[in-house]
Structure 1
Amino acid sequence: MRSPLRRTNYKMSDFLASLPCVVYETTSDFTIRVISPNAFDLIGIQAESLQGNRSLWEDRLNQEDRQRLFARLDQLQEAEIACEDHGLLDDQGLPVRVSHSFRKVGKDDSIRIHGSITPLMRDVRARSLDSAVISQFIHKIGNHFQLINLLIGSLKRNGTSNHEIQSLQDTVDQAVEFTRSFSHYTQTPVYLSAVELGEILRSVIESASPLFEEKKVSFKAIVDDSLTGSQICGDPFLLELALSSIIQNALEATKSADQVVIDARKETFPLTSRSVARVWIADSGIGMEKEILAKASVPFFSSKRERSGLGLSMAIRILEMHGGLLNISSNESSGTRVEITLPVSESTEWSHR
């Protein structure tokens, strides 16, 4: 029996193109048999590039989401519908947040997967703050204030000493800094405008240069002319905060005579005339072990006891709220490389949305 999705008459094609979601059918090995022609309009992926292969379930998902979807699919009973929110990489390498519903149809060798993919608004990421993150914040800030109470109690019993006063001051400073870091992490774009990404980058680089000079770390920055006039719809304060945090991580990972290089340029896709900005920040510092790298983007994780563990995760969250993506690679003793991808435009149309 022919699948209803395989009807190819004009009316069906026209109907599928008008849907607010992408619908598809795969074989049991995840090869796309049919996909609606609106894939590019909704999720930025040419439908033709998905037809006849497994890239939708493999190349377009990150490892964590892929494992979660496969595990959910394994648990599905016939005709049961699953729904998961996750990210997809579009043809520009940018993340698209989607709601993905799918179900198994048929049995044994004739099993097929029917699915629908609906893009979510970009501000969903901004609104959805994981309750586990909030719980960790309450726990960690509670530890700071518990220590403060212990120190105050000691001062009351034994009088004051310079060491105890300094310990109390350090603990208060850490609690304040931790609270400030969490405040930055939870911020969402307040005022969206069309801003020049090149100008933000140059401002961040100018502010950071004296810090590298003071530490005697070589600091080279190349902001290519292709970024001139390239705009992103976003919150300039948050974008600067995210970029500054990543550069600060590079500074802290390096020592005298090490090197940090920033390279930023625009890449245009001829078939779609869409553009992205790519920013690479590479350092020759201490690097990270595989175990630490795997946790580097997790909120509150840090290999340094005195740090909040929110810098990188905050930067990732801000970039994702602006439709961007951050990838990080690192090798112990040979440095770390961060790649940022952000959507840009030559026009100011986004400022009017």
Structure 2
Amino acid sequence: MAGLYINQHVLNNLFYILVTVFAFSFIYDHSPAIQRKPLYNRALLSTCLALASVLCMKFPIYIDPTCIHDFRQIPFLLGTLYGGGGVGAVLFVVSMLARTILYGFQPLTLIVYAIMLVAAAAASPLFRRLPRSGKLFTAIWLTFLLAVLTTFVAIIIADFPVTKPYIVYFILMPPFVMMFAVYLMETLHEAQLARAELMKMEKMEIVSQLAASISHEIRNPLTVVKGFIQLLQTGPLPRETEERYIRIALEEVKRAEAIIHDYLTFAKPAPKETEPIDVAVELQKVLQMIAPMAHMHSVDLASSLEHAVVTGNVQYFQQCFLNLFKNSIEAMPNGGTLRVTAENRETSVVITISDNGIGMTKEQVRRFGEPYFSTKEKGTGLGAMVAVKIIEQMGGTWKIESAVQKGTTVTITLPARRVRPPSAQQSTAG
């Protein structure tokens, strides 16, 4: 019996409705403008469901040689319940025009759908406030009652013949199709809300991790400063002792300032001022800045730098690689060699930073650049986090290869500019 009534034409009508519902959800999910403006939302809903109505009419369900039917009332009721009377009016006009163009004008059709419009528009405000179960219940019974009511109207006005296939396709089957369409709309909407909530929670988690990291790291130097100021207040001290206390306090203040600077670099937007950067020249400057620290840790510096041009902020570029070089040097507590290479590949610049230090585990590699994660006992993870953000702001990518007690290699790929820097000379090696 089911096979007798669920034929290819029925499945086609269902397909048109489901595809347009998915299309509405997909476009809505990927368009912030539609999400922000209810007018755009209603316009999209009207367009998608009007298309479904027209397709259902164009490719109807053939009941018998003298009667055809379709599921156009499903997108019509769906749009009116979710979008209100405005969307319902648009769908009503489109349906009547399409009906007239395809099959000619029929006053009875006009009356039937006018009754559906008034009833669905009146129920729409309450329907939209209901939970999912309430919407499903309302959709089933409203569709069924409207089908029965309009059938009686058709019998009274036009002495409409009610056949068994008509009862199945117009009265019994549409409520279940409507229930399925509402369930799909609710499921897609809840998935969108869940994803938005998940993104919000992830952002809040990052903020909480950063706040915990900053408060923890700043508390230490401030505690030291407070202690030495209290010592200075205890009474007269030798000049040399006072100067030593003040020097230590100033060093701790500078350390707190550096932590705040790293945090602000990560938190604030990318600078609008960008310029061509000669990779070889700027990396050489950073190597010169880091040379005293490398000497203190018995680390040799080796570089092979080809001239190439990238676009970015020079200050941030230097800070990015200063942080990465410092990480590599600190990963070699017993000394070693820090190798830096820059290769010009015309469309990209590949910068490689290698050390033969303590290396990282797979888990540490995976978490590299996360806030509040560091392989160092007293590290904050802010340096790596800032470096990763700057690389991404420049449109670049990064990759880490590491093995415990064997060393780490960081490979950064940045998009290259075609114009060569005026200062380009021969490759720098050191």
Identical amino acids, percent of aligned pairs: 21
Question: 1:295 deviation in Å?
Answer: 4.2
C-alpha contact (below 8 Å) 2:276/2:310 kept by paired residues:
yes
* TM-score normalised by length of structure 2: 0.44
Verify: 1:324 aligned to 2:402, yes or no.
no
Verify: 1:240 aligned to 2:322, yes or no.
no
* Matches for 1:1-353 after TM superposition, within 5 Å: 1=12, 78-80=187-189, 81-82=191-192, 130=207, 132-134=209-211, 136-153=213-230, 156=233, 169-170=247-248, 172-187=250-265, 188-189=270-271, 191-209=273-291, 211-212=293-294, 215-224=297-306, 228=307, 230-255=308-333, 258-267=336-345, 275-347=347-419
Cα distance in 2 between the residues matched to 1:183 and 1:160: 34
Cα distance in 2 between the residues matched to 1:167 and 1:294: 42
C-alpha contact (below 8 Å) 1:178/1:308 kept by paired residues:
no
* TM-score normalised by length of structure 1: 0.53
Provide closer, same or farther for how the CA distance between residues 196 and 77 of structure 1 changes in structure 2, counting only shifts above 3 A: farther
3-state DSSP class of the match of 2:381? coil
Question: 1:179 deviation in Å?
Answer: 1.9
3-state DSSP class of the match of 1:78? helix
* 1:325 counterpart letter in structure 2: T
Cα distance in 1 between the residues matched to 2:188 and 2:404: 48
CA offset digits 1:283-336 (Å, max 9, x no partner) = 001223445444442334334455443221111121122122233232221111
Cα distance in 2 between the residues matched to 1:257 and 1:292: 22
5+ long unaligned stretches in structure 1: 7-15, 22-75, 86-99, 101-124, 269-274, 349-353
Cα distance in 1 between the residues matched to 2:192 and 2:387: 31
The alignment's C-alpha RMSD in Å is 4.1
C-alpha contact (below 8 Å) 1:328/1:339 kept by paired residues:
yes
Which fold has the larger relative contact order, with Cα–Cα distance below 8 Å and residues 6 or more apart in sequence?
1
Cα distance in 2 between the residues matched to 1:148 and 1:192: 38
* 1:321 counterpart letter in structure 2: Q
Cα distance in 2 between the residues matched to 1:4 and 1:193: 52
Query: More helix by proportion, 1 or 2?
Result: 2
* 1:341 counterpart letter in structure 2: T
C-alpha contact (below 8 Å) 2:222/2:252 kept by paired residues:
no
C-alpha contact (below 8 Å) 1:221/1:263 kept by paired residues:
yes
Find the counterpart in structure 2 of residue 112 from structure 1.
none
5+ long unaligned stretches in structure 2: 1-11, 20-26, 33-184, 421-430
CA offset digits 1:75-116 (Å, max 9, x no partner) = x9722242769xxxxxxxxxxxxxx9xxxxxxxxxxxxxxxx
CA offset digits 1:196-224 (Å, max 9, x no partner) = 22332233234445654565433221223
Find the counterpart in structure 1 of residue 171 from structure 2.
none
Provide closer, same or farther for how the CA distance between residues 236 and 310 of structure 1 changes in structure 2, counting only shifts above 3 A: same
3-state DSSP class of the match of 1:82? helix
Cα distance in 2 between the residues matched to 1:311 and 1:212: 17
* 1:332 counterpart letter in structure 2: V
C-alpha contact (below 8 Å) 2:321/2:387 kept by paired residues:
yes
C-alpha contact (below 8 Å) 2:225/2:253 kept by paired residues:
no
Paired residues, number: 234
Provide closer, same or farther for how the CA distance between residues 218 and 152 of structure 1 changes in structure 2, counting only shifts above 3 A: closer
C-alpha contact (below 8 Å) 2:217/2:380 kept by paired residues:
no
Query: More strand by proportion, 1 or 2?
Result: 1
Cα distance in 2 between the residues matched to 1:332 and 1:325: 23
Cα distance in 2 between the residues matched to 1:243 and 1:253: 15
3-state DSSP class of the match of 2:311? strand
Moved more, 76-85 or 185-194: 76-85
3-state DSSP class of the match of 2:229? helix
CA offset digits 1:236-267 (Å, max 9, x no partner) = 11101111221122122225662222222133
* 1:285 counterpart letter in structure 2: G
